[in-house]
Amino acid sequence: QAGEAVPVAQRGSWTSFLKSIASFSGDLSSLTAPPFILSPVSLTEFPAYWCERPELFAAIADATTEEARALAVLKWFMSTLKGQYTSRNESMGSEKKPLNPALGELFYGVWPDKNGRGQTDLLVEQVSHHPPITAYVIENRSKGLKLVGHSAQKTSFSGGSIIVKQIGHAVLTVKLPAGGEVQYLVTLPRLRIDGLWYGSPYIELSDHSYIVGGGYTCNIEYKGKGYFSGKAHTFKATLSPIHSSGDIVVEGTWHQNSKITHGGSGSFHDVSAPKEEVTAVGAEAGGEMGGMETRKLWQFVSKGIREGDFDSASKEKTRIENEMRQRRKDEAASGTTWPMKHFKPLGSDPVYEKLAVLADITPETEDTYVFQDNWPATLRS
């Protein structure tokens, strides 16, 4: 039944929300949604999903051959998808609408060293508000691993589902023990948000994403229940050496496990063990959070949403949005713009251009945000 999962009092507003999505394409973040679907977490926290199995990230540094390294990168990547795309369903009952980050919003965090895997640091900055673009860095310095990326979305509506095209990419840089480094381009899958009619949205992945570099290309193909009457959340990854033959194929479900089905054998990834959430770290002296740090900025909005006090959540949200609007007006009046704190925009990414051609990835170029290597001291002492 329509709106089955929606609290009775909010069914009307859910229906009108769906109607506004259907007649709209572009930036969903600006649409007003009924309270039951609101998440207390801002999109600036999402890059943490890239490292919730820090030991798998660290393991990339231990590989000693190109093949082993390519497999380690794929295994780390596959193991992030469950968190990226199903964790809100697990923790909140369905996919929710995240808080729309303010320009300049920040998030810092850390996964501490454990069993010799080294400390991994996270830094996130909202580098654009219109359209929303989030830039991030994840670095394990002791292992010589660094992931830099940015994330944006283009949404449309089709057949009762929201289709989300992910814009942006990430580059993983691996320092080699023998000197030098190798880089991998990581592109992102397409999302379909199903279950809207019932008011219990969930994500299915579709199309392809790629990992390219270090002598290999990897084409990951995603299929869901709707497609060819297959199982939910399935994938097939084909890892191909660039200069020789001999593919390795991995098949399975990204939210559960997979095995090598060609060019080897045995189980590949398995995400049944619990993941490890990032520990938020304030950037100011003593680990205090500044006003633009996400958990401080949204503190009372989040509290309202968590406690079901939607009146104060929405009042507080309006207050923040008005403050940001005023800031933009003041900047326009004085002919200034909000400066990025950790990144510099670059119109085309040379690493992307070099690697994308190897797997025929389109577009041929994408812009990027170059990290300025200015970690706050609280993460580096």
Contacting residues toward ligand CLR, per CB under 6 A: 28-29, 37, 43, 46, 49, 84-85, 95-98, 151, 153, 162, 164, 166, 193, 201
| Shortest CB 314 distance to ligand CLR, Å | 17
Nearest approach, Cβ of residue 132 and ligand CLR (Å) = 9
- What is the smallest separation between the CB atom of 131 and ligand CLR, expressed in angstroms? 12
Min dist CB 206 to ligand CLR, Å, is: 13
The CB-of-95 to ligand CLR minimum distance in angstroms stands at 5
Residue 28 CB, nearest approach to ligand CLR (Å): 4
Bridge partners, residue 164, by sequence: 155, 191
Residue (49 or 310) nearer to ligand CLR, CB: 49
Which tokens is 118 given? 């080294």
Q: Which helix (H) or strand (E) holds 164?
A: strand 161-167
| Cα–Cα distance measured from residue 57 to residue 80, given in angstroms and rounded to the nearest whole number | 10
Q: How far is the CB of 92 from ligand CLR (least distance, A)?
A: 11
Nearer to ligand CLR, 132 or 376 (CB): 132
C-beta separation of 217 from 359 below 8 A: yes
How far apart are alpha carbons 312 and 301 in whole angstroms? Answer: 7
Residue type, position 256, single letter? Q
Which residue in 103, 97, 171, 165 sits closest to 132, CA to CA?
103
Nearer to ligand CLR, 43 or 61 (CB): 43
- Minimum distance from CB of 100 to ligand CLR (Å)? 8
Task: Report the candidate in 137, 131, 145 with the shortest Cα–Cα distance to residue 59.
Answer: 145
Q: Whole-number minimum distance, CB 25 to ligand CLR, in Å?
A: 13
Angle at 46 (CA atoms; ends 144, 291), nearest 5 degrees:
95
Report in angstroms how near the CB of residue 18 gets to ligand CLR at its nearest: 8
Q: Rank residues 202 and 375 by Cβ distance to ligand CLR and give the closer one.
A: 202
Distance separating alpha carbons of residues 282 and 20, to the nearest angstrom: 38
The answer to whether the CB of 230 falls within 8 A of the CB of 206 is: no
Nearer to ligand CLR, 167 or 358 (CB): 167
By 3-state DSSP, what share of the chain in percent is helix, strand and coil, each rounded to 5? 30, 35, 35
Q: 110-116: long-range contacts at Cβ-Cβ below 8 A with a sequence spacing of 24 or more? A: 110/278, 110/279, 110/281, 110/379, 111/51, 111/54, 111/276, 111/278, 111/279, 112/279, 113/142, 114/54, 114/55, 115/55
Measured from the CB atom, the residue of 97 and 341 that comes closer to ligand CLR is 97
Compare residues 192 and 240 and give the one whose CB is closer to ligand CLR: 192
Please say which residue, 108 or 260, places its beta carbon nearer to ligand CLR: 108
Token pair 């923040």: residue: 320
| 29/240 with CB nearer ligand CLR | 29
| Long-range own/partner contacts, residues 188-192 (CB < 8 A, 24 or more apart) | 188/151, 189/220, 189/222, 190/163, 190/164, 190/165, 190/166, 190/222, 191/85, 191/162, 191/163, 191/164, 191/166, 192/161, 192/162, 192/163, 192/164, 192/224
- Is the separation of the CB atoms in 191 and 204 below 8 Å? yes
Between 92 and 358, name the residue whose CB sits nearer to ligand CLR: 92
